Structure formats: structure tokens, C-alpha cells
Amino acid sequence: MWLTRPFNERSTQIFLLILTVAVIAVTVLHLAVPAGHPLYVSGYTVGLLGKYLTYALLAVAVDLVWGYLGILSLGHGAFFAIGGYAMGMYLMRQIGDRGTYGDPILPDFMVFLNWDSLPWFWYGFDMAWFAFAMVLIAPGLLALVFGWLAFRSRVTGVYLSIITQAMTFALMLAFFRNEMGFGGNNGLTDFRELLGFDLRSGATRLGLFIASGVALALGYVVCRSIVGSKLGRVCVATRDAEARTRFLGYRVERFQLFVFVVSAMLAGVAGALYVPQVGIINPSEFDPIFSIEIVLWVALGGRASLYGAVIGAVLVNYAKTVFTGVMPDAWLFALGGLFVFVTVFLPQGVAGLLGHLKRRRDDEPSDSETPDKEATA
Amino acid sequence: MRIPCYSWTPRVMPRIVTCLLISLLAWFPMAVQAQEDDGQALLEALDTRSFDDKSDAITAIIESEHERADVWLQALLDSDLQRLKDSGRFVIALETAGLDVTVEDAMTGEAIGEVSRRDLDRLTINNALRSQLRSAISLVELYNGEQDARLDAARRLIGNVEEEQVEPLTNRMAEEPSAAVRHRLNQALAVYRLNQGDVEAVEVLSGSLNSNVRVALNRATQSEDPLVVDAATTALADIEQNLKINRAAETLYFGLSMGSVLVLAAIGLAITFGVMGVINMAHGELIMLGAYTTWAMQQLLPGQPGLALILAIPAGFMVSALVGVAIERGVIQFLKGRPLETLLATFGISLILQQLVRTVISPLNRTVITPEWMSGSLVVNDALSLTLNRMYVLGFALVVFAGLILIMRHTRLGLEVRAVTQNRNMARSMGIRATRVDIMTFALGSGVAGLAGVALSQLTNVGPNLGQNYIIDSFMVVVFGGVGNLWGTLVAGMSLGIINQVLEPWAGAVLAKIIVLVFIILFIQKRPRGLFPQKGRAAEG
Amino acid sequence: MTTFLRKTHPKTSRVFSTALLTAAMMGTSAHAIAQDEDPIKVGILHSLSGTMAISETVLKDTVEMLIEQQNEAGGLLGRDIEAVVVDPASDWPLFAERARELLEQEEVDVIFGNWTSVSRKSVLPVVEELNGLLFYPVQYEGEESSENVFYTGAAPNQQSIPAVNYLHDQIGVERWVLAGTDYVFPRTTNRILEAYLKEEFGVADEDIMVNYTPFGHSDWQNIVSEISRFGSEGKKTAVVSTINGDANVPFYRELGNQGIDAADIPVVAFSVGAEALTGIDTSPLVGHLAAWNYFMSVDSDANYDFIDAWLAHTGEDDAVTNDPMEAHYIGFNMWVEAVQKAGTTDVDAVKDAIIGVTVPNLSGGSAAMMPNHHITKPVMIGEIQDNGQFAIVWQTPSTVAGDAWSDYLPGSRDLISDWRKPMECGNYNVVENRCMGSNAEEQAEEALAE
Amino acid sequence: MSFFQALTERDRVFDFMTPQASTVDVRHGPILYMEDVTVSFDGFKAINKLNLTIDDGELRCIIGPNGAGKTTMMDIITGKTRPNEGSVWFGSRHNLLHMNEPEIASLGIGRKFQKPTVFEALSVFENLELAMAADKRIIPTLTARLTGEVKDRIDEVLETIGLTALRYQPAGILSHGQKQWLEIGMLLMQRPRLLLVDEPVAGMTEQEMERTAELLTGLAGKQSVVVVEHDMGFVRSIARQVTVLHQGSVLAEGTMDQVSSDPSVVEVYLGADDEEAA
């Protein structure tokens, strides 16, 4: 089965190993070690790491389209946010009559903005299965429509990047409007429980952290098996010589669309896991700046190497945590500098470096250029 | 009630006006007659919490022929009239420095020197008093002011004519040299007559767009005299018609002015993006630098904002152009033919520039003063007036555009630029130094961004986020117009501006913007290369 | 700065080590936290970067100044007070994260912070979960009363309603433009005002115009001309502006240029402080109004002392003070008083002790903490003077107590808030006689416990 | 699945389009049939009333000076350029003017570009794998496995184009000549009915040329081959039928000798040919 193929690749094995060890280690250190002990991992840190993991998944999703399909999407924040909103709406409905006004149906913000009834698009979100389905479907659908329009008319390169940016910008403005019924600027917050687990308990947060880890692993495997497959090679072919691929008889726009949608869904999942961990979703996640930042994570980690995206996401966000803590003013300098440095001096990113070293050690091409032979053979 | 008319020294105003003034203020009880001429007492009366009492006190001051009356009123209007807490002595603040204030004695006008703010009580006034003072002064001016002042005074009278004023105003109308002022006065009186139920008055008023006239006519339609009613209704009808036209004109103007801003912001991008295929995300910050240059110039030349603004035009261009060159040499030249990478790198630069401004100058917005000749608006008629600052910006945008077209068409640089755009290698082989062209082009584009900044400093915040607010719009305009096509940018900017302003009244500001964005996205699907697609290297994006 | 440099390092290095999950690097100098249990820790949660930095940085400085003053005065309970500053970077989820950091990692005794409503909403669950103390200094939309939050800013009834009364009674306004930025504070305020105007003054629908614009809106041509048209119908018209921050500059510019004079159509602003006026050439704005609970131009010794201290602290002669700064001034002093009263910084003790505490405010009066965790404030109307300062033209005769739940919103009409025993409820429904929603389950648990 | 399902399935390539089962109707002789085709780029007629017929299994050489419209003609056949007028038929069933590139390609028309374009990031092996005639819908592509005969087929082609040794090297590192080979190899993998080859020997050494010649002649018969070439020597070595294009329309047609003896051809072409042939 094509989904199992990645498990034969060494890079995937190593990645999954590290990830598993990491997640288990944190779990153990959080539960088993007494607080105050130097090895103790506090709930705060767990939450932080959980957030990084969701970002990592998001980065993987972006790398899939940018690295392998050559589509620089400046709008992936939108899919992330929509997934987040889907989850947020579910969590809002879970509050039930424990809201400030004790309204069994309407969320608080609707009550004091005088909504008399629940808008149609909120229906069904009280059911977990529906909400979780929406986490995949809503971003997927947006990607499908948008992508279909764009790829069909062969909008590529810069133009595509710019209209993806326009898309997320328009969505941001839209979600800021209170008439939209998504809580406007305040977004959705004050969540209580997820599938019956109290979101304000440490155990739940740990669970979410682990869930994020698992999601990242799954997402990685899915992406790996896509790029490892013949389809992945068609993508690379499209990236490098679109016209040629057409003459080989591949319907390029459909492959682009397929991968774009998959990527959007992954982003949605990342968002859905992000929201309960940070406890709020509001339109600022649609901010084009955020989408560009995601691209930086990937660029830093290294395009067209999925694990690179993960490294990039974790590094940058950890740096952000440190800098905004230690010297707030310096953060933007650092971030900006990073953008310039990576693009000019490190086009292959960290993964590129690793691959380079690897190749120097034993002269086989790193899988960022050609998928592993054991996959092909 | 009977109004005593005191003999009046010609210095202030003719006798008749005193009565006029007093009658104008007639609705106040004359409580303060007793203490004419006693300045201290007059001012004492001002020092009260209740604003009604204050306005009585003002009346009293106007009546009293105290020679410093006008000084006091002016000081009161500027809220410079203050009082020393301990001695209760009245003073006039001249200038405020930190916690200390330089003051002079209100009675004698002798300088007192610096006083701590703690020891002063300010005699505050509110809008009611402010307009009372103003109308008093403007009435004076109806008699001996400049023509504009008289016109303004006359306009203020429309709808506010009291019975006692009818006769003096009629006389005044006879003497008045300026036809415009006469016309106003005539309308003012007509409104009064109409309120008395005089049908002929409608004659005079029909066609006027003045809001008070409209109000009067509206009231007239409720009158019981059928003649008046249908006269007023017909008059109102064609006024409404007239208003519609004016409103359309207004919206068009709004659209053009918004469009001009978009064009200014985008046109530099059209050059860098179009010619070099460089997606310069730092473009917004180059605009910001231009705006800050304006501010800096005004700091350098305190007191002459106008001159500073004009000097800022070349200065802003230079600053942004230099920074542009620095960016091109420092980063972009290493990213030839990797447009998406330039996007990321320049975005990094934009972050750095923003933070630089925050740390070096201030996170707060800077005040950029609008020079006299740019503030206010050009009054076409009572319903339509065009704001001057935007009109200047509109003109400026067109000038810049024309300039660029000239450069592109009729200069060596323009020729080379076009050559490089069409076919880089060919141009190279024909001895054009493409790198030099790149530098020049980028400098030009950045410089134009600087100019945009200078213009924007007159319309919006001058702060670190200035650029952020325009970068996305700029890209939309360029892509919509067709990359590398200046005319495309002009048409795109203007049309987007107009669409936006037409939509706004019924869709609301946010929705209008969203609609425009969606429209652009869909348009790009139909025509991936924009309104005026451009052949050549840049088209491969 | 230095203080929190020392403070944040151990934590971040631990995040780092765990992030890389090399056990060797774990917990480098984790005991650094153990050392300084002596000083009382005050967390400061204001954005120092990002869009909100403009407004929030001064508040962080204010609290630092107050702490310095307190330490010079001998500290609190004989212990020093130490500021723990973190930067949520105007990023709402980050606010929650930082709050958790302050309470879990730094174990601060109290937090002063937040400006925007959304940031407060994002912090709220964390503060409640970890039972912290939060002092929130900005005027806000109300409709909230948390056991762990103290609202030292104005509730709607402490700002908008008196302002509207002033306009109606003193200026004789009959037509109303409610213009605001599209977020929750203006939305709620305008809802309340609409209801209030109709109920109290019998204003007709066609005499109320409501308009919302996005954040940082810069092209006001259309709206301003609409306003002037709306205002030229003969009735006295006023604009009640809840326009936020940056958008004000172009708005007032446009007003000035389209020749809308304060005497014709006054604009009363709720979100514009003197610091927002930096960036505007105020000459065309003279006479426009703002409704706050404090103005820098307030004439009282307390205020002049505060201003002096502030100028000294910032080292700038033209530094301005504003309403939220006063709110922090009041809040901080209330907390100090409560701690002294309780003899401990224990959150529950302080929570009980602080209710009823009365401290002087900057306008010569005094502020008391109400059982609903809101405070009493005077309401002032200021007119912009040509020097960019506000002259106070009107002031409520006495202070007004903040009302968490508006009487003019259907949803909250029946709700009251009282955190004293026995009620101990932030949203008690007087009709159904029960404590609504949020705290229901806690109530139940307590009931079981007893 | 039912026919209607088939219709609703966007990714489905209908059987008659897939080359294996290609039902190109050649009973009436010609496999490619162009009539009165005209293309103009803003006024300039690149192709002008061009008539051309290629028989099944024929090997046809097309020569002509620069700007004669050779490449444009190929663009039209492969669906890259749409003519302003005229008709282009593949066999007597498929109107190429109603199809896009992938459809035409899967009908069995393969094209080799003037400038060799191979997927540089992919290995030689993968280049061939992608080119291979197969079900090119998304899901099949995603789940495609390398079956034995596929591998054999690829090895076989690798053998023919002599790149077996370099099979796992990224195509990017190949020499110019090798890239030309690889691209021809990719064409072979497609099992096309009609091969359009644009300047196959540009920049090749003598012996490389010879092999190319053998290869193309070998293909002819099984497939129809159209070769556009400047190199007269090469053309002479392979050509049976030669068509001369000039200013977008056919100037002469016939065997090499007939053509080269045609005075008009000599005038417009062979005269100018010397330096090109060199």
C-alpha cells in the first residue's frame, strides 16, 4: 500500500523515532518528575511545545505545496485559521448553558449583540464528528474552489502568491466583521471542554500535546508517501517544467489541485489542534504577515525536505519565545534579518546543510533531491 | 423688551450694531448692568461653574465699553484667560512651557512672568460660548470685516435672523458692495420672511443648496397656507434634484482622490516589479520613509510647514531612492531570477525598517502639519466642496505619473529600461549595462515610493505601520493593471478607487474592500496578466 | 528591564532544553526560581512590540514607576516588590501563554495588564484556572465580572451614558451619529446607547445613524460627508465616536478639511486620549469632546504630583498622562492597601480584603472597589484646546459606580455581580435567583464540598 | 462502473484516449492531416494556409529557413497554439483543435523540444518512469507501483539510449547530448503513434548522430515520425519524404533529390542553407 511506503525510508524512520522519543520524554518528565526538580517539564512548557508541534504540521503542509509543487502560497494561514474556527465553533457549542448569560444555544457574544437565533452555518457544530469533519472539509473546500479557479486558468508564480495573499486578507477583513457571526475581533474564546475533557486541566493539555505529536507524525507520513510516490515525482516535474509535463499527458492543474487541497486540509488539522491549546481563535490568524512567516519557517528549515519544515517551525518559534521574552525590540530585527540571511545565504535551509554534510560523508544524493531508491525499487 | 442704545465710540463699531448685538443676545437676563466699566467685576462674573452665567457675563463684557473687552474675549476664546489662585488676579497666558506659564495682567496688560500651572485657574468655555463669541465677532465683521469675513457672517445669519435684526440688515444690504454678500443677506432675510409665511420668499430661496434654507422650506411644507406649501414643495423638488447631481460629483471626486492615493502607492511598485520582476515587499516601508522625511523637514524648518513640505518632495525622493539602491545592491542582486525569494528577503527588510523607525524615532505617530494653503476645502456650492489637501494629492499623483511616462518614453534610461524589460540578454549584448539599469530602475521605483510617502503624510498617520497599510493594496493595483504597464496602473488605481467609493455608501467600508478584493481575484482568473498584459521577460513573473 | 532580564532567562533556557529534549541540557539553573521567593512579584502583561505597543508601553512604565515609589516607601509587608515584565507582542494567543508563564513559572502574586478586550478575553480562562489576580486598566464594554479580575477602567455606564446625558442636556443634541471601529467595545457601547437614547430621550430611529469601520481605516471622505449631510437636517447633531486608535487621525483630519466645526457637529470620543492626539494637528479640532474619567489637565495636587513623577520617570518634558495610567495608579494602590489589610499576598485573602478599599484618585476625589470588582469614578467631559490638551467643561457631581451588567441590554438586564459571601457570583440572575453560567459548576462543587 | 459515473468522474481519461487502446482511425491512410491552417501573431502570419498530410508509419523530414514556421506547426499539432483558421485531424476521428495538450499527448502524439527539457531534479530512471505510457489520472499515479514489466521496459529503453549506467543520477548532471537522448527515450516510453522531433541532433557528435539516425529510422513503421532538422547531412541520411516550409506554407514536397533540385527551393533555402548546415 502506498501509505506504508514511507516506513521503508531511512529519513522517515529517523524522523518518527526522534518525534516519538521527544513526545514520550516530555510526557514522562511532566508526569513522573516532581515540580521544582531540574528535569521537571511544567504545564506551561508542555503547552508551548504543543503549540510548536501544530506549527510544525502547518509548516509541513506549506512545504508540500511550495517545496514539491513550486506554489508559494501566502495564504495558508487562512486554511489554518478556518480549521481553527471549525474547532472553535465546536468548543463554543460545548459551553452550552454555562455561558455568562446561561443561554443553552447562543454563544455569549451572540447574546449581547442581540442575535435572536443561531446562524445556519453554526448548525451541527455541537456534534463532534461533524465539527471534526468540517476541520477537514471547510479548508479543503476553500482550497478546491480557489485552486480550481487559479490552476485552471494557469495563474502561477508571483501572481498566484499575490492572489493567495489577497484571499487571506479578504478573509481577515470578513471575519473581523461582527455581522459575520464569528465573534468579530474577539473571536471565539472561554472554551470549557473538548469531548468531555476539561480544557483547564493539565491532563487535557498533555493529551492535546500528545495528539499534536501524533497528528504531526501522521501528516508527515501522508506527505512523505505523496512525495515518495510517482505522483510526487509528477509534482516535482511540474515544478521544474510545467509545459513538458503537460506534453507527457499529465493534467497538471489537477495534480496541483489535489496536492493543494491535501495541504490545505493538513493546515486545517493543525489549526484545529492549535486552538484548544492556546484557548482562543480570532481573525488575526488570517493576517497575511502570519502566512508569510510560515513560509519563512519552511525556507529556514529547507524547502522540499519535509523534516526541514519541522525543524524550521520549531526553531523560529522557539526563537520568538526567547526574544519576545528577553528583548522585545530586537525580535523584529532578528526575524527580518533571518528572512534576508536565509534567502540570500541559505537557499537550501538547514536541511540543505544536513543533506550536504550527509552527501559529503557517503556519496548518495540526499532525499531532498531524489526520493529514496528503496521507495522506487 | 426695550434695548438701550449707548453712545458708541466709532473705534469698535457703528452705533446701530450695538443694538444689533444686544438684541442678538437679547435672550439673556440683563443681570450685570450695574457694574459697567469695572473690569475686575466683569471678569469676576466669568469665573463661575455654570456656563449660562458665563454667557451672561460675556454679554455684559460686550456691552461694557471697556477698552480691553476685545482682548478678553479673544483670550477667553483661546482659553488663555486664567486666574491666579491666591490673589484672584486675572491674567492672560502667553505661552506654556512644561509646567510653567508666561502670563500678563488681564487688566493692565503688564507682563508678570512665569507662573506654575498649579497656581492658575483656567476660565474654561464650551462650544455654546465659543459660538456665541464667534457670532458676536463675526457680526462685527459683517460691518467692517474683509469680504470673505462678511460673506461668512452673512452665511451664519441664514436661518438665524431675529426680528430686531430685519431692519438693520435690510439697510446693511443696501450698503453692501459685494453682490455675493448681498445675495446671502437676501436669502437670510427671505428665510425669516418665509418663516413668517411669506410666499414671495420662496422665489428668492428656490435653487439654494444651503441646508438651513432647505430646513426652512421643509418647515414651510407643513404650513397651513396651501400656496406656501406647494411653492415650497416645488422649490424643494428641484433642490433635491440638484443635490443628487452634486452628490454624484462628490462620490466621483472621492473615488478619484482615493484612486490617486492607490496610484501613488503602487506606481513605484509597477516599475520595480514590472521591469525587474522584483517583488519588493519593503515598498510600503519606502513610502513610510518618504512620510518621515516630510516630518523631519518640518522639524528642521519650524514655522514654515509649507516650505518644508515642498522641500520634502526632492528630499523624500532621494532618501527612499538611496535606501532602495542599498536594498538592491545589498540583497536583491543576489536573487536574480528568483522572484519568490526576493519576496521573502524584501519582506524581512520591511520588518527591519519598521522596527528601526520604532526604536530610532518613536513607536508613536508623528505630527505632520498641513500648511494653510492645503487645509480646508474649495467650496463649489453649499452642497459640494472639495477638500484641498486631497485635490493637491490628486494633482501631485498625476504630475508624478506624467513625469514617469516622460522618463520611460523620452530618456536614455527609459529606452534602456524598456530594452532590458523586453529581452535582457539581447539588451546586454547590445552593450546596455543591465546591472546599471537595474540599479537606476530600482532607485527610480523606490524614489517614487518616497514621493507617495510625502503625499500620504498629508492624509493619514505618519507612523511605523504606514507602509503595512498600503503594501497589499499596491500589489493588487499593479497586478490588476498588468505588471510593468504604467497606464495599467493608473487605470487600475483610479477605477479601484472609484469602485470602492461607489460601493462604500451601501456596502459599508469593510464589505466594499472585501468585494473589491474578491473582484480582483476573480479578474486575475479571467486575465492572468491583468488589464494591460505586457509582453516580455517580466511577464513570465 | 534589568530585573526581568534576570528573571526570564532561567525559564526560557528550560523551554529551550526541553524543546531540544536533550536531558543533559534540561533544567539549567532551574533553582534560579527558588532563590528569590523574598520579593513580592508583580507581573506586568503589556505589549511592548507590535501594534498595541504604542498604547501599552506607557502602562508598563507606569506600573514600574509605581513599584519603584512603593519600594522607596519601604516596600510592602517589609518585602521588596519586583516587577516581572513579559511581552505578549500584541498577539492574542500569546497573552494567554504569557499569563500562564507569569502564574505558573514566575508565580507572581498579581498581574497588571491588557489593553484590548480580546487580549483580556484570551487571558481570562488562564487567570481563573490558576486563580491569579488581574488588574485591567482600560475602559471596556462591560458584560463581564470575573472572580479573579478587577476592572479599574470605566464600564459603559461610567463613560458613554453620562457623556450622552451631557450632550443632550447641556448642548441640546437631538440627532446622534454613533461611529465606531468594528469590534466588541463600540458594538456594545452603541447597543447600550441606542437603547438608552430611545428609552430615556425618546429619540426616533431616523435620528440615529450607526456606522462601523475596520481597524486603521484611513479613507473617511464618504463617512464624514454622510455625517455632515445627516447633521444638516436642522436638528442639533453630535457624533459619539468609539473609533479606535490610529483611525482617529485621518478621521479628524477629514472632519477639519470638510469644515465640520465643533460648534456645528461636536464629536465626543471615548477612545481618544491625549496620546492619541499626538500625530494630529489639533488646531481644526478645537472644541471637540472626549469623555474620560481622568484628564491630564485635571487641576488637583495629586495629579500634579503624579505628572511630576511621570515626567521625572520618563525624562521627557512633553510626556503625557492618560486615563488608563490613572486606572493603574488606582488599581496598584488598592492592591497595596488590600495586601496590607490582609497581611498577606495570598490571592483569596486579597480578593476578600480589597472589596470596599478606598484610595484617592488623581482628580482630587477617591475611588472605592465595589463588590462587582469595578470601581467608582468621576466622569468628565473635556474639550480639545488649541494646545492639544483637554479642558474639562463638565463633570459628574459625584463619582459613579461601575456597572458590570448594563441595564439597557436585554441579555444582562437581570444580572448583578457580587463577589462577597454569600453570593460570590459574577452574574447572578435576580429573576431566576440563581448564579448563571460560567461559575455554575464551581458552585456545585463547593456545595458538594461543604 | 457505469457510463454515467464515468462521465462524472473528472479525473477519468476515457479509454479511447489512452494510447494503449488508441483507436486512431488510419484506414483512410493519413495519420495527421492539416488543411488550410493559418496562425497570425498580431498581424504577422507565422503559418499561412498550410496543408500537410502524414501517412501512418511514415518518416517525414521538414526543413526550411528560420521563421518558416516549423516550430509553430508543432505547437499547433500538440495543442500549444490554436490556429486562427483551418483544421487539424489526427487520423480521421480526432479533431486536435478541440483538445488540450494532455489529451493530445495521451492520444499518442509525442513531442521532443528543440531545447532539451528533462526534469533535472529527477533521476534518469524517474524521467523515463514519468514518461511511460500509463494511466495518468491522479489516484492511479499516486498508488502506482513499479511492476516487473515496467522496470524491464525502462531498462530496455535505458539500453537503447545508452544511459543504463547513469540511471540513478539526477538528469540535471547529464551532458547536452545525453539530455537529447534521454528526451528521445522519454518519447519512446510514451509509445506514441506520432513522434514530433525538433532538431534531434543539434550539438551532437558524429556517432551520436548516426545512432539517432538508426533509432529514428527504426521507429518509423511502428510509429509515424516527423523530424524538423537544419542539418542537411542528417536529413539526407534518414529522409524518404521531405517537405520544405517557407513563410508558413509548403514550398515543395518529395524525395530529397527532387526537393533539392527544385529551383525555387534552391533559391529560398539551399542557397541560405550552407552556413546553417555547417
Q: Where are the domains of chain A?
A: 2-376
What is the side-by-side order of every strand in the sheet holding D30-41?
D44-55, D30-41, D85-90, D94-95
Three-state SS at A365: coil
CA distance D141 to D139: 5
Listed in sequence order, the residues at least 6 apart from D104 whose beta carbon sits closer than 8 Å to its beta carbon are D77, D78, D79, D90, D96
| Residue in A closest to B334 by C-alpha | A344
Listed in sequence order, the residues at least 6 apart from A99 whose beta carbon sits closer than 8 Å to its beta carbon are A106, A107, A108, A111, A190, C437, C438
Listed in sequence order, the residues at least 6 apart from A372 whose beta carbon sits closer than 8 Å to its beta carbon are A8, A9, A10, A11, A228
Report CB contact under 8 Å: B279, A158. Answer: yes
Task: Show pLDDT as tens, one digit a residue, over chain A (377 residues).
Answer: 567 777 777 888 888 898 889 888 888 888 888 877 778 888 888 888 999 999 999 999 999 999 888 888 899 999 999 999 999 999 988 887 777 777 777 888 888 777 788 888 888 888 889 999 999 999 999 999 999 988 888 887 788 888 899 999 999 989 988 888 888 888 888 888 888 788 888 888 899 999 999 999 999 999 988 888 888 888 888 888 887 888 787 888 888 999 999 999 999 999 999 999 988 898 989 999 899 989 988 988 888 888 889 999 998 898 888 887 777 677 788 888 888 888 888 888 888 787 777 776 655 444 444 433 333 33
Which amino acid, B185?
L
pLDDT digits (tens, 9 = 90+) for C240-289: 998 877 788 788 888 888 888 887 888 998 876 656 666 566 777 788 88
Residue where the block lists cell 487621525: C249
Report CB contact under 8 Å: D117, A370. Answer: no
Instruction: Give the pairing of strands D224-228 and D194-198.
Output: parallel
pLDDT digits (tens, 9 = 90+) for A153-177: 888 778 888 889 999 999 998 998 8
Task: Give Dmax over CA atoms of chain B in angstroms.
Answer: 98
Report CB contact under 8 Å: C182, A332. Answer: no
| Residue in A closest to D121 by C-alpha | A369
Q: What is the structure's pLDDT at A361?
A: 65
Whether the pLDDT of residue C21 is over 50: the answer is: no
A306: cell is 519535509
- Determine contact, residues D229/D61, Cβ cutoff 8 Å: yes
End-to-end Cα separation, chain C, in angstroms: 46
Length of chain C: 450
Min Cα–Cα distance to chain A from C427, Å: 7
Q: Residue A167: list chain B partners with CB under 8 A.
A: 521
Nearest to B454 by CA among B466, B444, B440: B466
Q: Which residues of B8-24 are buried (b: 16+ CB within 10 A; e: fewer)?
A: eeeeebeeebbbbbbbb
The alpha helices in B277-338, defined as continuous H runs, are: 283-300, 305-330
Burial of A10 per CB tally in 10 Å (0-12, 13-18, 19+) = exposed
Q: Residue C126: list chain A partners with CB under 8 A.
A: 279
Report CB contact under 8 Å: B130, C386. Answer: no
pTM over 0.90: no
CA distance D98 to C433: 76
Listed in sequence order, the residues at least 6 apart from C230 whose beta carbon sits closer than 8 Å to its beta carbon are C175, C177, C209, C237
Band the pLDDT of D257: cuts 50, 70, 90: confident
DSSP D222: T
Average pLDDT over residues C70-84: 89
Interface test with C, best of B246, B250, B364 (most C CBs within 10 A): B364
D53: cell is 498530410
Report CB contact under 8 Å: A112, C191. Answer: yes
Report CB contact under 8 Å: B128, C171. Answer: yes
Give, in degrees to the nearest 5, the angle at Cα D54 between D51 and D55: 140
Q: What is the structure's pLDDT at C442?
A: 54
Average pLDDT over residues C49-63: 84
- φ/ψ region of D39 (left if φ > 0, alpha if ψ in -120 to 50, else beta) reads beta
Say which CATH class C160-292 falls into.
Answer: alpha beta
How many CB atoms are closer than 10 A to CB B172? Answer: 20
Flag whether C touches D (3+ CB pairs, 8 A cutoff): no
Q: For C118, which of A111, A114, A282 is closest by C-beta distance?
A: A282
Is C316 part of the contact surface with chain B (CB cutoff 8 Å)? no
Give, in degrees to the nearest 5, the angle at Cα A249 between A248 and A253: 110
Q: Residue C218: list chain B partners with CB under 8 A.
A: 459-461, 469
Band the pLDDT of D19: cuts 50, 70, 90: very low
C149: cell is 479580575
DSSP C172: -
Residue C55 host element (H or E): helix C53-72
Which residue would you say has higher pLDDT here, C235 or B400?
A: B400
B238: cell is 428641484
* CA Rg value for chain A: 21
How many CB atoms are closer than 10 A to CB D35? Answer: 14
* Cα→Cα distances A83→A88, A106, A193, Å: 9, 21, 18
Listed in sequence order, the residues at least 6 apart from B222 whose beta carbon sits closer than 8 Å to its beta carbon are B229
CA distance B512 to B500: 6
Band the pLDDT of D28: cuts 50, 70, 90: low
Q: What is the structure's pLDDT at C18?
A: 44
Spans of all domains in chain C = 160-292, 410-449
Listed in sequence order, the residues at least 6 apart from D249 whose beta carbon sits closer than 8 Å to its beta carbon are D47, D48, D49, D50, D51, D69
Report CB contact under 8 Å: C258, B385. Answer: yes
Listed in sequence order, the residues at least 6 apart from C367 whose beta carbon sits closer than 8 Å to its beta carbon are C152, C330, C334, C358, C359, C360, C361, C375, C376, C377, C399
Q: Which residues of C3-12 are buried (b: 16+ CB within 10 A; e: fewer)?
A: ebeebbbbbb
| ipTM given for this complex | 0.81
Listed in sequence order, the residues at least 6 apart from C87 whose beta carbon sits closer than 8 Å to its beta carbon are A324, A325, A328, C46, C47, C48, C49, C98
CA distance C106 to C7: 8
Q: For B250, which of C225, C253, C301 is closest by C-beta distance?
A: C225
CA distance C249 to C216: 9
Whether the pLDDT of residue B134 is over 50: the answer is: yes
Residue where the block lists cell 529556514: A300
Q: Residue A209: list chain C partners with CB under 8 A.
A: none
D77: cell is 499539432
Min Cα–Cα distance to chain A from C120, Å: 9
Band the pLDDT of B10: cuts 50, 70, 90: very low
Inter-residue long-range contacts of A105-114, CB under 8 Å, 24+ positions, other chains counted? A107/A183, A107/A188, A108/A190, A108/C143, A109/A183, A109/A184, A109/A186, A109/C184, A110/A181, A111/C411, A112/C143, A112/C188, A112/C191, A112/C409, A112/C411, A112/C412, A113/A178, A113/C187, A113/C188, A113/C191, A114/C191, A114/C409, A114/C410, A114/C411
CA distance D278 to D275: 5
Question: In Å, how far from its chain's centre is CA C251?
Answer: 23
Q: What is the structure's pLDDT at C113?
A: 92
Residues 193-212 in C contacting B (C-alpha not used; CB under 8 Å): 211-212
- Which range among A96-100, B107-111, B446-450 has the greatest average pLDDT? B446-450
End-to-end Cα separation, chain D, in angstroms: 58
For D120, list phi and psi in degrees, rounded to 5.
Answer: -65, -30
**Helices B468-481, A157-176: inter-axial angle, 10-degree rounding:** 130
For C172, list phi and psi in degrees, rounded to 5.
Answer: 75, 40
How many CB atoms are closer than 10 A to CB C16? Answer: 18
Q: What does pLDDT average to over chain B?
A: 80
Question: In Å, how far from its chain's centre is CA D278?
Answer: 25
Q: For C191, which of A40, A114, A314 is closest by C-beta distance?
A: A114
C276: cell is 492619541
Nearest to A257 by CA among C286, D84, C61, D137: D137
CB-facing half-sphere around the CA of A44: CA atoms within 13 A: 23
The alpha helices in B105-225, defined as continuous H runs, are: 127-144, 147-157, 163-175, 179-195, 200-205, 211-221
Spans of all domains in chain D = 29-277
CA distance C154 to C404: 10
Task: Give Dmax over CA atoms of chain C in angstroms.
Answer: 79
Spans of all domains in chain B = 83-122, 257-371+392-540
DSSP B364: S
Band the pLDDT of D23: cuts 50, 70, 90: low
Min Cα–Cα distance to chain B from C245, Å: 10
C14: cell is 528550560
- Determine contact, residues B238/B206, Cβ cutoff 8 Å: yes
| Residue in D closest to A249 by C-alpha | D102
Q: Kindly write down the DSSP assignment for every residue of A177-234, as one continuous string.
A: -GGGSS-GGG-EE---EETTEETTSHHHHHHHHHHHHHHHHHHHHHHHHHHHSHHHHH
Give, in degrees to the nearest 5, the angle at Cα C41 between C38 and C47: 155
The CATH H-level (homologous superfamily) assignment of domain D29-277 is P-loop containing nucleotide triphosphate hydrolases (3.40.50.300)
Nearest to D77 by CA among D105, D106, D55: D105
pLDDT digits (tens, 9 = 90+) for A292-319: 989 988 988 888 888 889 999 998 898 8
